[in-house]
């Protein structure tokens, strides 16, 4: 059994709140440091944004977006244990509105809606391309898609109307940012 990682909300209205991490193997939460980097890049676009946190895991990215003023966050996860963790973290932070939790397989391509920011964090052991392809159509004109992936992998240069704009390397992880 894995030891639960302790996460925290980095900034905004919920700054400093502690979030529970998984107590089982196989779920790799986005580290506080990488989330801080991500939100430093997204800062000008977060307030009022509609955000999709796909492969939400602990919900930390979506909760951070809410803390920083996102209008609405949709958290998508298929693992029932992770869904319970997300619900618990939202309750722990006192978040009562501006979010939707969806049980779904992101890769199935059945998600709908329009989002200003889409964040993907699929398992590192799989190619990031199917995940990007499954949600690319959900990004609004002028929006961004960000995928967290293993540093050793490289997402596609372009998908649909999205073009890779930047890749940020951090340890074994990378964030690749697309713009529409």
pLDDT digits (tens, 9 = 90+) for 56-67: 999 999 999 999
* All structural domains of the chain: 6-179 (3.40.50.150)
9 pLDDT more than 80: yes
Q: CA–CA separation, 174 vs 99, rounded Å?
A: 26
3-state secondary structure of 168: strand
pLDDT digits (tens, 9 = 90+) for 57-114: 999 999 999 999 999 999 999 999 999 999 999 999 999 999 999 999 998 878 999 9
Q: CA–CA separation, 98 vs 105, rounded Å?
A: 22
Give kind and range of the element (H or E) at residue 42. helix 32-46
pLDDT digits (tens, 9 = 90+) for 16-52: 999 998 888 878 888 888 899 999 999 999 999 999 9
Q: CA–CA separation, 26 vs 11, rounded Å?
A: 27
4 pLDDT more than 80: no
1 pLDDT more than 70: no
CB 28 within 8 A of CB 124: yes
Local structure of residue 31 (DSSP, 8 states) = P
Phi/psi region, residue 134 (left: phi>0; alpha: psi -120 to 50; beta: rest), is alpha
CB 79 within 8 A of CB 103: no
């Amino acid at each position: 059994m894995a030891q639960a990682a302790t996460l925290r909300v980095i900034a905004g209205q919920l700054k400093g709140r502690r979030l529970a991490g998984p107590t089982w193997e196989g779920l790799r939460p986005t580290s506080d440091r990488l989330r801080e980097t991500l939100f430093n890049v997204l800062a000008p676009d977060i307030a009022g944004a509609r955000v999709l946190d796909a492969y939400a895991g602990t919900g930390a990215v979506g909760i951070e977006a809410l803390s920083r003023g996102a209008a609405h966050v949709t958290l998508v996860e298929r693992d029932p244990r992770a869904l319970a963790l997300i619900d618990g973290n939202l309750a722990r932070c006192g978040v009562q509105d501006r979010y939707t939790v969806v049980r779904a397989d992101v890769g199935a391509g059945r998600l709908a809606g329009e989002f200003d920011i889409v964040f993907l964090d699929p398992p590192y052991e799989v190619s990031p391309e199917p995940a990007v392809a499954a949600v690319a159509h959900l990004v609004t004109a002028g929006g961004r898609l960000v995928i967290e992936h293993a540093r050793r992998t490289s997402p596609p240069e372009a998908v649909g109307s999205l073009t890779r704009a930047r890749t940020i390397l951090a340890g074994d992880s990378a964030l690749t940012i697309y713009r529409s």
